[in-house]
Structure 1
Amino acid sequence: MSEILLRLAQAEAAAHTRFGASGTVARFGPLVAVASGQRLPIDTAWHDGTGAPADDDWAAFEAFCAAQEQPATLNLLSHAAPALLPDLNGRGYGLDSVLHAFAHDLASPAPAPGWPEHSGWPVHEEPDPNRWADLAAQGFGPGTETIMRLVAGVPGTRRFVATVEGAEAGTGGYATEAGVAALHGAATRPEFRGRGVQAALLAFRLAQAAREGADLASVFVTPGSGSERNVVRAGFGLAGLRLTFTRRG
């Protein structure tokens, strides 16, 4: 699994630079940092999985964050944690959150028996990023409108909508980097939950990404969530953890 995690880390770090159109991007050794100027969840660094930053890299990254008036926050995958933990502990970083990192080999899909159930809902690509973002925010909840508009407008993002009996019910997107289709933006409007909307979006995106030449799909989900159950049933396997650290003080 460490080889898969390295691919995911490198793809995520490279994809992180796409937010540069809406802010500032800087690289500090294996760290790729973004500042949007809007205090959004993307205002972090991604570790590309290739080793520990040098002392100068850490110092420059922290100075960058201070200049941007944002916390020094870093995302990394679990295979890289042993090499980085001494520096993280020594420099005062604390663990903020943990997500499960899942991967799916698109060359040999193996969904669980009976999947997808009730996933025959139509799915279409949404050309208007603002329309997609507004619909996604209805699923994610109040306060997510700005980040969803930013995500929707990132170059290379594919945006999809599932409809239930003619009504727009849920969203899902992905972007491909180095053969890895990173799935994101999975949200269902509250009144349509429990009706297979995300199963339809998962099936459609996996097939679409494979047709486009991606050989691996990835997704990060909250442990024990409904999203995790959906991706497991869709044939994803647990590859590791996504760990988010923030410097205290």
Structure 2
Amino acid sequence: MPAHLLPRIAQAEAAAHAAQSPGGWERFGPLVAVWTEDAAPLDTAWHDGTCVPTETEWDAFEAFCARHGQTPTVHALSHAAPELLSALNARGFQLTYVLHVYAHDLKDLPLTPPNMHQTDNALDWAGLAAQGFGPSTAEIMRAVALAPGKRLWWAKVDGQPVATGAYSVVSGVAALHGTATRPEFRGRGLQTALLAARLNAAQQERADLATVMVTPGTGSERNVMRAGFRLAGMRLTWTAAH
């Protein structure tokens, strides 16, 4: 994948992080930090891929986290990691999670399969997504579904929704997420079909690039590779040890 894609993706993710925050957000140099009422895993800062925060910006970010009862957590894409590492280590951050970042241009797309539908029913979508991800994710999925700018999709079998997907578009980049299937309906190609549906829908919104982040070595990673996505880099998550 072209090297310039990661900076573009980082900028779009940081902007979406702010625009879709269910609580509030503040910017500290390149860090966009949010807080939520009841969806703590979303309480993170996105690094926009541009530069290293100053000491003053780090201090202000950590004070923001303290005010909101958060553990300081930072997401950054792999192109920015080398310059950030020294500051993160000095601040006591530890690498806690890695996702693979995949990208897909929006040309020559497969047709949208049947039984893929966009929905405005955010609460039912969130409930279905939590059935796929697990009951502990109910509040997170609700926050995701209700965030501004979300396009919610589900796949139906025999007229009943059984799998979910979502996306949002910022600066021509469609970020795909919310991928979940009820356990008894897995292995039927529903997520591949939902990927195709969302790629086509994003293209109609004049997006020219789609991205998705997946846990390495999982079925989700195999699905996105089969759908024509190509590995662009990694999303690295650091969490303060103190």
Match of 1:219 in 2: 212
1:234 aligns with 2:227: yes
CA offsets, 1:186-239, max 9 Å, x none? 100011000011011011111111111000000000001111001001110000
d(CA) in 2 for partners of 1:131, 1:230:
25
Which one-letter code corresponds to 1:48 in the other structure? D
d(CA) in 1 for partners of 2:47, 2:239:
13
Deviation at 1:126, TM superposition (A): 1.0
Match of 2:137 in 1: 144
Match of 1:166 in 2: 159
Equivalent positions of 1:39-188 (< 5 A) are 40-109=40-109, 120-188=113-181
CA offsets, 1:104-155, max 9 Å, x none? 011355x7xxxx9xx8451111111111111111111111110101100111
Match of 1:23 in 2: 23
CA offsets, 1:33-65, max 9 Å, x none? 001132521100000000111111111101110
Gaps of 5+ in 1: none
Deviation at 1:80, TM superposition (A): 0.1
Q: Give the stretch that moved more between structures: 79-88 or 33-42.
A: 33-42
Gaps of 5+ in 2: none
Match of 2:183 in 1: 190
Using the size of structure 1 for normalisation, the TM-score is 0.93
d(CA) in 1 for partners of 2:193, 2:3:
30
- The RMSD of aligned alpha carbons is 1.4
Partner of 1:238, secondary structure, is strand
What percent of counterpart residues are identical?
57
When the two structures are aligned, how many residues end up with a matched partner?
Answer: 241
The ranges of structure 1 where at least 4 consecutive aligned residues each deviate by more than 4 angstroms after the TM superposition are: none
Which one-letter code corresponds to 2:100 in the other structure? H
CA offsets, 1:43-101, max 9 Å, x none? 00000000111111111101110111110000000000011000001110000100000
Question: Structure 2 residue aligned with 1:210, among 197, 203, 213?
Answer: 203
Using the size of structure 2 for normalisation, the TM-score is 0.96
